[in-house]
Amino acid sequence: MTTQTQAPPRPVRIASALTFVQGLGGIALAVALVVRVIGGATPAGPILGAAGVLVLWFGGVLFATVMLFRGHHGARTPVIVTQLLLLGCAWYAYGPSEQQLLGSLGGIYCVVVLVLLFTTEGRKWAMGFEGESEVDKAD
C-alpha cells in the first residue's frame, strides 16, 4: 500500500464525496434497524446482527472516503469494492425485488462513482504518475 499523500484530482475527490454520502446512508439504515427493534420488531437478533454488519461496513467506507479525499492512494480500492457491492444491490433491487426506479438510480449512482475513479487523471494519480514529466517516462 502506498503511503503517499499527493492531493487527488477533482474527479477522485468528487467520487470520494459521493461515496461518503453512501456511507452516511448505510449508517442511517443501521440506526433505522435498531429503532425498529426498540419499537418491538421480532426477531431482534437477526435485525441487530444486520445493523452491526452495516455499521462495520459503512464505518469502514466512511473512513476510506476520508482517507481518499485526503490523498491516500490505498483508500481507492475499498471505495471501488464498495461500489461493486452496491451495484449488485442495485441489480437485486431492479430485478428480483421489482423496484426498478430505486435499482436504476442506485446503479447509475454507482456507475458514476466508478467512472470518476477510473478517469485518466484518477488512474494516473493512483499509479503515482501525476508528477512525472515526459522525459522521466521515456527512461
Region 56-67 average pLDDT: 96
Percent of the chain with pLDDT over 90: 78
pLDDT in tens, 64-87: 999 999 999 899 999 999 999 999
Q: What's the whole-model pTM score?
A: 0.84
Whole-number Å distance between alpha carbons of 45 and 22: 25
The answer to whether 18 and 113 have CB atoms below 8 angstroms apart is yes
pLDDT value at 46 more than 60: yes
Output the nine-digit C-alpha cell for 110.
454507482
> How would residue 132 be classed by pLDDT, with cut points 50, 70 and 90?
low
| C-alpha 13 chain-centroid distance | 12
- Whether the Cβ atoms of residue 57 and residue 29 lie closer than 8 Å to each other: no
In tens, the pLDDT along 81-112 reads 999 999 999 999 999 999 999 999 999 999 99
Greatest extent of the chain over all pairs of C-alpha atoms, in Å: 67
